[in-house]
Amino acid sequence: MKRILFLLLIGSNSITFAQLQVQTLNLTVNDLVYDSVTNKIYASIPSANGANGNSIGVINPVTKTLENTVFIGSEPSVLAISDNGQYVYAGFTGTSTIRRFDVANQTAGLQFSLGSDPFFGSFYAQDIEVMPGSPNTIAVSRRRPNVSPTHGGVAIYDDSVMRPTTTPDHTGSNVFEFTSATTLVGYNTESTEYGLRRLSVNAGGVSNSSVNAGVLTGFGLDFVYKNNTLYATNGTVVDMSSAPFVSGQFSNVSGPVVYDDYYNRVCYASYDWNGNITFKRFNPTTFLLFDSLSITQAFGNVKNIITCGNGCYAFNTTDNKVVIINDSTLGLSDNDSRSKLSLYPNPTSDFLNIKSDIALKEVNISDLNGRVLNNVNFTEDRIYLGDLSSGIYLVMITDIQGNRTTEKIIKK
């Protein structure tokens, strides 16, 4: 473990540990997702938070402030965001519905019912995932709160229309992730079967294609999936390239996990029985601890952890805090030749300014299908986008050293 020095800053909510800065927001939150287009964190805020409850909250990870709240429905819980940043989907504990939040317009939109079981009543969303490359299609793990086990099967919805084939109820995938547009990996969190499942998705719906019991063990576990590998909240690492098997173990962790693509680390917001929280980063290949940071600004259980940009992490706790950690220098060498880019304002209605410390060679705009657009003008350090329709676009930038960067933007 590397040695970590710390410096107490002015104010009670900000501490710097060498390269790590910790700040907190006093906010009751059930779930968090991050959108790289707007560089915002979106939070499900329940009624317990007070006047701005039952909303989607918009958190700026740079200023560490709650910028806005938009009413979304009764007791929002689980969230999922499409990979193009177009929609945030919300499930609820107060209603048997899913609602879609339009990121570009910052408005709550499509809402539909999850239906009901003829014997046990309404379905509620336990987990939601958006299909890769298809922002209008989601998978939902349904639960029935009046029966045990609560699992009510997994269903696929295109906008508000459910595909007819669903997985069986009672025992199944309480939590899951898409591994491709046609495959899900799920885990049974509430019975001693402890089944790790592969699910097949097609135009007719979703079905179980295999189950392996006892590879993971433990009630209430969750996981993230990356590169044919599953990283579980109890520290277990599972190789999913063929028949699943345990390939490693991160030591002394218990809590939500996220994979940091920028630094290639597996990150845990780990907590113990006394409510002490520790942020830990591990090498995904050797399973060894890279660094560790005790979080003194929050206590209790951690609900969820996300990355929120390069060197940024955020998690929410049961003592009604959102903790944001920034590491702006780790992993960058002194002779790093990549251009430092800033695009603003984003969203924009007309001009997009580009600030770079290295001269730019080429700038292109494309739609989300990769089609390069010709009706934009780039002059010096700004692009005029006034002739484009509202929506999400990609800005592809090449500097004079040949470095290429792609950023998402929103045209209002």
Among 147-151, 301-305, 372-376, 384-388, whose mean pLDDT is lowest?
372-376
Q: Which pLDDT band, with edges at 50, 70 and 90, does 262 fall under?
A: confident
Return the pLDDT at 95.
Answer: 97
Return the pLDDT at 5.
Answer: 29
Q: Which pLDDT band, with edges at 50, 70 and 90, does 12 fall under?
A: very low
Q: What is the mean pLDDT of residues 93-106?
A: 96
Cβ-contact 393, 368 below 8 angstroms: yes
Beta bridge partners of 344: 353
Extents of the domains making up the chain? 21-328, 341-411
Q: Read off the amino acid at residue 256.
A: P
Give the three-class secondary structure for 231: strand
- Tell me 371's DSSP state: P
- Architecture of the domain made up of 21-328: 7 Propeller (2.130)
Paired tokens of 368: 């989300």
* More confident site: 235 or 403: 235
Among 86-95, 170-179, 330-339, whose mean pLDDT is lowest?
330-339
Return the pLDDT at 333.
Answer: 38
Among 205-209, 242-246, 298-302, 359-363, whose mean pLDDT is lowest?
359-363
pLDDT in tens, 311-346: 999 999 999 999 999 986 544 433 444 456 788 888
End-to-end Cα separation, the chain, in angstroms: 47
Among 48-57, 139-148, 267-276, 399-408, whose mean pLDDT is lowest?
399-408
What CATH number labels 341-411? 2.60.40
Beta bridge partners of 32: 43
Environment class of 379 (CB within 10 Å of its CB; exposed 0-12, middle 13-18, buried 19+)? exposed
Q: What is the mean pLDDT of residues 119-140?
A: 96
Cα separation of 171 and 346, whole Å?
44
Asked if pLDDT for residue 1 goes beyond 80, the answer is no
Cα separation of 371 and 343, whole Å?
21
Paired tokens of 13: 């909510």
Q: How many CA atoms lie within 13 A of 45 on its CB side?
A: 26
Cα-Cα-Cα-Cα torsion 304, 307, 311, 314, nearest 10 degrees, comes to -30
| Main-chain phi, psi angles of 49, to 5 degrees | -75, -15
Cα-Cα-Cα-Cα torsion 313, 224, 263, 325, nearest 10 degrees, comes to 10
Determine what percent of the chain is predicted with pLDDT higher than 70. 89
Average pLDDT, the chain: 88
pLDDT in tens, 291-307: 899 999 999 999 999 99
Q: What is the mean pLDDT of residues 170-186?
A: 97
Distance of alpha carbon 40 from the chain centroid: 11
Q: What is the mean pLDDT of residues 21-48?
A: 95
Q: Is the peptide bond before 244 cis (omega within 30 degrees of 0)?
A: no
Cα separation of 41 and 38, whole Å?
9
Return the pLDDT at 328.
Answer: 62
SS (H, E, C) 72-121: CCCCEEEEEECCCCCEEEEEECCCCEEEEEECCCCEEEEEEECCEECCCE
Asked if pLDDT for residue 18 goes beyond 80, the answer is no
Asked if pLDDT for residue 256 goes beyond 60, the answer is yes
Cα separation of 235 and 230, whole Å?
10
Q: How many CA atoms lie within 13 A of 145 on its CB side?
A: 9
* More confident site: 126 or 339: 126
* More confident site: 271 or 389: 271
Determine what percent of the chain is predicted with pLDDT higher than 90. 69
* More confident site: 393 or 370: 393
pLDDT in tens, 237-252: 999 999 999 999 999 9
Q: Which pLDDT band, with edges at 50, 70 and 90, does 351 fall under?
A: confident
Q: What is the pTM of this model?
A: 0.79
Cα separation of 289 and 210, whole Å?
33
Paired tokens of 410: 């929103």
Residue 186 CB: number of other CB atoms within 10 A?
Answer: 26
Q: Which residue has the tokens 């590491």?
A: 327
